[in-house]
């Protein structure tokens, strides 16, 4: 997916409190190093951060290192254990008992806040001081602690804060509120994370959000209901082959029987009443309005709707019949799908259907085509 660079930079500036130019420079440097490694067919590994590589599908992948996993997932990552000592005035041991522990505590130097600790960006100075304090607190002699050991230790070696309070010899627990008289309260020291780690975490979060948004759009959005708009087809489109269409354009001729050829002169002159009856029959059989008549296979209709649901097509035809039109429903198969075409009118020729189509109201006037009734 594509990441909005400007939005990513503004988000990193907000989270890291760095200058925009510094964020852009570090982001460009990281991108260039990844591309250089990819061009050489290798993966880019950043110590303490993780491994960047392109998978088999050509997608950029990131595998976090053990140290980064500890920083992100471990609850007490980057914190130093702090032991709160009881007040000397309130918890004094009996006079007849040896006060070895008290003498040891008297020898401990008080920890004072360092005014220059703000200059120590990565917390190395605090780590060294905490290590020296722990070495002085141990009553038994032991090997000196490594000041840099906590920076490279495994997650299993991480020191957890002691859940229980230290008990004095009198059996009472130390009161946290009274310890502030002799020494200032010391808060857990949290290591400041590398800005590059924060940038990578934010990039991964943005990528995951983008993937989730695409998945929701593709798999959870309901499909739109099937449209019942009439198919846009070219006017005067025929379903039959061109040869049949040309044959249908000709006016049907009345067949002559042998009896009619050999009739006498009196039978050729039909009465006016018979002509009027024939004209009335043709008017009832063809036209745009009226009752639909059974077709003979050589009639045409004006199609105004193409619907995939038969019940909807019949309902639409019924509404047109209420408006006075000769409505009909025919079934067609187009590209393997069955559609039901709603037509109006019965016409003897295509030209008659075209003439009547010009008189239709909108939107039927511009959205129709002619077909043979089958």
DSSP string, 24-70: HHHHHHHHHHHHHHHHTT--EEETTTEEEEE-TTS-EEEEE-HHHHH
Question: What value does the CA radius of gyration of the chain take, rounded to a whole number of Å?
Answer: 47
Rounded Cα distance between 89 and 371, Å, is 109
CATH of 5-76+194-214, one of 3.30.70, 4.10.520, 3.30.460, 2.30.29: 4.10.520
Please give the pLDDT value at position 283: 55
Beta bridge partners of 328: 343
Rounded Cα distance, 10 and 24, in Å: 10
- Per DSSP, the three-state class of 248 is helix
Residue 75 has a pLDDT of 62
Which pLDDT does position 238 carry in this prediction? 41
- In residues, how long is the chain? 374
Q: Which residue has the tokens 């004094």?
A: 92
pLDDT of residue 199: 92
> What pTM did the predictor assign?
0.28
pLDDT value of residue 87:
67
C-alpha 359/C-alpha 287 separation (Å) is: 12
pLDDT tens, the chain, 374 aa long? 567 888 888 988 898 888 989 989 988 888 888 888 888 888 888 887 788 888 887 788 878 888 877 777 776 656 666 677 776 665 555 545 544 444 444 444 455 445 444 444 444 455 445 545 554 554 444 444 444 444 444 444 445 555 544 444 444 444 444 444 455 556 666 666 678 888 999 999 999 999 988 888 776 554 444 443 334 344 444 444 333 333 333 333 444 443 443 434 433 444 454 454 444 455 567 888 888 777 666 788 899 998 989 999 999 989 988 988 888 888 888 888 999 999 988 888 889 889 888 888 888 888 888 888 87
Instruction: Tell me which DSSP letter residue 158 carries.
Output: P
The domain segmentation of the chain, as residue ranges, is 5-76+194-214, 100-181, 242-248+282-372
Query: Domain 242-248+282-372: what homologous superfamily?
Result: Sporulation related repeat (3.30.70.1070)
pLDDT value at position 203?
95
DSSP-assigned beta bridge partners for residue 46: 50
Pair of tokens at residue 207: 């990528």
Burial category of 343 from C-beta neighbours within 10 Å (exposed 0-12, middle 13-18, buried 19 and up) = buried
Q: Give dist(CA 283, CA 75) in Å, integer.
A: 92
């Amino acid at each position: 997916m594509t990441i909005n660079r400007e939005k990513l930079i503004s988000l990193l500036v907000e989270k890291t409190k760095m200058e925009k130019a510094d964020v852009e420079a570090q982001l460009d440097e990281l991108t260039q190093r990844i591309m250089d490694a990819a061009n050489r067919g290798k993966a880019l590994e950043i110590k303490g951060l993780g491994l960047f590589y392109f998978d088999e599908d050509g997608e950029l992948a990131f595998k976090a290192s053990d140290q980064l996993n500890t920083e992100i997932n471990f609850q007490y990552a980057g914190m130093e254990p702090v032991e709160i000592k009881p007040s000397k005035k309130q918890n004094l041991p009996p006079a007849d008992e040896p006060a070895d522990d008290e003498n040891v505590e008297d020898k401990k130097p008080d920890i004072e806040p360092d005014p220059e600790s703000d200059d120590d960006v990565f917390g190395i100075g605090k780590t060294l001081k905490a290590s020296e304090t722990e070495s002085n607190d141990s009553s038994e002699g032991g090997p000196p602690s490594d000041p840099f050991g906590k920076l490279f230790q495994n997650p299993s070696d991480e020191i957890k804060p002691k859940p229980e309070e230290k008990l004095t010899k009198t059996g009472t627990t130390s009161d946290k509120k009274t310890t502030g008289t002799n020494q200032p309260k010391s808060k857990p020291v949290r290591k400041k994370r590398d800005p590059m780690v924060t940038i990578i975490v934010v990039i991964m979060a943005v990528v995951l959000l983008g993937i989730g948004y695409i998945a929701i759009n593709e798999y959870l959005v309901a499909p739109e209901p099937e449209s019942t708009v009439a198919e846009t087809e070219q006017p005067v489109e025929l379903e039959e082959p061109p040869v049949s269409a040309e044959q249908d354009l000709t006016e049907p001729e009345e067949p002559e029987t042998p009896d009619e050829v050999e009739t006498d002169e009196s039978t050729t002159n039909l009465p006016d009443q018979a002509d009027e009856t024939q004209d009335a029959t043709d008017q009832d059989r063809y036209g745009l309005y009226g009752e639909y008549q059974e077709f003979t296979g050589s009639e045409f209709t004006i199609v105004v709707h193409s619907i995939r649901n038969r019940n909807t097509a019949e309902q639409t035809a019924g509404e047109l019949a209420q408006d006075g039109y000769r409505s009909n429903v025919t079934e067609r198969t187009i590209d393997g799908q069955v559609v039901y075409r709603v037509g109006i009118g019965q016409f003897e020729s295509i030209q008659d259907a075209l003439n009547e189509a010009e008189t239709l109201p909108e939107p039927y006037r511009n959205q129709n085509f002619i077909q043979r009734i089958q």
